[in-house]
Amino acid sequence: MIPSPSSSGFTLDAEEAAGRAWDLVVIGAGSAGLVGSRTAAALGASVLLIEAGRFGGECLHTGCVPSKALIAAAATAHAARQGSAFGVRTQGIDVDFPGVMRHVRTAIHRIEPVDSPESLARDGVHALVGRARFDGPRSLLVNGQRIEFRDALLASGSTPVRSDADGSASIDMLTNETFWDLEELPPRLLIQGGGAIGCEIAQAMARLGSAVTLVHRGERLLPKEDPDAARVVVAALQADGVDVHLSATVSSFTSDATPAASSHSGTALLSDGSVIAFDRALVALGRSARTEGLGLDAAGVQLDERGDVVVDDALRTSNPRIRAAGDVTPLPRFTHTAGMFASVAATNAVLGLSRKADLEVVPRVTFTSPEVGAVGVAPADADRRKMRVLVQQHAHVDRAIADGHTDGFTKVVVDGRGRVRGAVIVGPRAGESLAEFTTATRLRTPVRTLATTIHAYPTYSDAGWNAVVKDAQHALTTGIVRLGVRGLSAARRRRG
């Protein structure tokens, strides 16, 4: 049933919500909360979704959507500058940064209606704007009203980790949440953190014209990714003008003391002795679960040592009536996992099931240029698990040669029974090419099945296909398969 509009449009007020019985109350209207609430409503449950801020969460407003819109603008500028390599000459590139940010906001606004209370209402979900706080194991308070529930789904998301360097409090530092308020291109941008967010924004802003310095405490960028992939990304960032400092941290910040200065600019002293002047600084050191003020103690919900909500493999918290999904948990923090796991949690709550979250096959993509996509068993772990790695360099892929993007590669991890168990792809649109190997990894598809499947030509997917074709051909020339093939060939010759 579609909820009828109340005095506040398509949202209830707290008094209306307190007067109803709820099968499931969901806290947080980000990816996890939206998918979880819609799943529960589709199963016939009465669902109340509570959000204190903007519907759509981090992904829509400060994460996936704006960052990909920024990357698209940066890629356009980069392609124009590189046009001479393809025989296309331009008369100079003029980046209108306010126009870039208008493009970013336009992308958000076009997607925003999908996550709105009106859209939720059409799907049978009741929305309430307010800040929720548990006051017991089966109830919570919103705007002074007590709301009781049979089950709850905690999907309150996460917040950016702040810099702890000396003097950081004197700098008005950007995070991935405030970065999108920029209206002017910073001439000099300092970024702390070499994970996906730091690398993506560093490259995009360098392509748009900022002098970018990227500081990362580890020995390589993207520490969770394949080492060869990290090396390709470092080279790409440096080619775009990013000054990369590895195995370094910011020891201290000093605010610019000139009369015309703002709290935005200053200098940073790095642990490697470098002194970096900047006009804006962005901290991209990860995110922490948003649990403050939720009254989790009153609800009997436990946190781990990092402050994440503890869940079992069926997404139950220490209170069996409350489940959790998304960034508030220690599970992989991606939009796609938030939605998938929230759907599992909501289904379990409504139907009384104990379905488990599948953590074995979780694809991930870093949207640098080239992109880095990975799923399943890492190539670095193949030897230990008695698996082998098939490798195809994109320098030998026709589409990559035609496009001038030959610095990538595809690696496919195969187990002893010839089944696909993982993959790493570095190249344009690696996230799209990864989809086939994500399915193959989940189903443990035999290499020969992929090898005998016709693939369109010429595409970047040729890299993975060529790798498995070579492996299948090799199998025909070794061991018992070789003997069988030769036997069939000999029999054919005898028959004439």
Helix segments in 366-429, DSSP class H: 398-403
Question: Please, what's the largest Cα pairwise distance for the chain?
Answer: 96
Which residues, at least 6 apart from 296, have a Cβ–Cβ distance to it below 8 Å?
134, 302, 303, 309
DSSP string, 7-43: TTBSEE-HHHHHTS-EEEEEE--SHHHHHHHHHHHHT
Tokens of 40: 């529960």
Determine the pLDDT at residue 14: 97
* Dihedral pair phi/psi, residue 178, rounded to 5°: -95, -15
Tokens of 49: 């979704």
Domains of the chain: 11-55+116-160+288-351 (3.50.50.60), 168-286 (3.50.50.60), 370-480 (3.30.390.30)
Cis status of the peptide bond prior to 117, with omega within 30 of 0? no
* Contact (CB, 8 A) for 78 and 207: yes
Question: Using alpha carbons only, how large is the chain's radius of gyration in Å?
Answer: 26
Q: How far apart, in whole angstroms, are the C-alpha atoms of residue 361 and residue 364?
A: 10
Q: How far apart, in whole angstroms, are the C-alpha atoms of residue 17 and residue 3?
A: 12
The model carries a pTM of 0.93
Determine the pLDDT at residue 490: 64
Spell out the per-residue pLDDT of the chain, length 496, in tens: 334 334 346 899 999 999 999 999 999 999 999 999 999 999 999 999 999 999 999 999 999 999 999 999 999 999 999 999 999 998 889 999 999 999 999 999 999 999 999 999 999 999 999 999 999 999 999 999 999 999 999 999 999 999 999 999 999 999 999 999 999 999 999 999 999 999 999 999 999 999 999 999 999 999 999 999 999 999 999 999 999 999 999 999 999 866 555 689 999 999 999 999 999 999 999 999 999 999 999 999 999 999 999 999 999 999 999 999 999 999 999 999 999 999 999 999 999 999 999 999 999 999 999 999 999 999 999 999 999 999 999 999 999 999 999 999 999 999 999 999 999 999 999 999 999 999 999 999 999 999 999 999 999 999 999 999 999 887 777 655 555 655 656 666 777 6
Write the Ramachandran bin of 232: left for phi over 0, alpha for psi from -120 to 50, otherwise beta: alpha
DSSP string, 321-367: TEEE-GGGSSS---HHHHHHHHHHHHHHHHHT--PPP--SS--EEE-
Q: Is the dihedral of CA 301, 305, 309, 313 positive or negative?
A: negative
Determine the pLDDT at residue 9: 62
Tokens of 262: 């703002």
Residue type present at position 389 = V
Tokens of 307: 């402050």
Please choose, from the candidates 39, 82, 427, 54, the residue with its C-alpha nearest in 3D space to the C-alpha of residue 226. Answer: 427
Q: How far apart, in whole angstroms, are the C-alpha atoms of residue 140 and residue 48?
A: 12
Q: How far apart, in whole angstroms, are the C-alpha atoms of residue 24 and residue 36?
A: 10
* Dihedral pair phi/psi, residue 389, rounded to 5°: -120, 125
Q: How far apart, in whole angstroms, are the C-alpha atoms of residue 431 and residue 449?
A: 21
Buried b or exposed e, range 390-427, using 16+ CB within 10 angstroms: bebebeebebbeeeebebbbbbbbbbeebbbbbbbbbb
Q: Tell me the C-alpha to C-alpha distance, in Å, between residue 375 and each of 410, 430, 436.
A: 12, 11, 11
Q: How far apart, in whole angstroms, are the C-alpha atoms of residue 384 and residue 391?
A: 18
Q: In what helix (H) or strand (E) does residue 253 lie, and over which residues does it extend? A: strand 250-255
Pairing relationship of beta strands 11-12 and 125-129 according to DSSP bridges: parallel
244 in helix, strand or coil? strand
Q: In what helix (H) or strand (E) does residue 275 lie, and over which residues does it extend? A: strand 275-278
Q: How far apart, in whole angstroms, are the C-alpha atoms of residue 350 and residue 346?
A: 6
Determine the pLDDT at residue 6: 40
| Count of CA atoms in the C-beta half-sphere (13 A) of 76 | 12
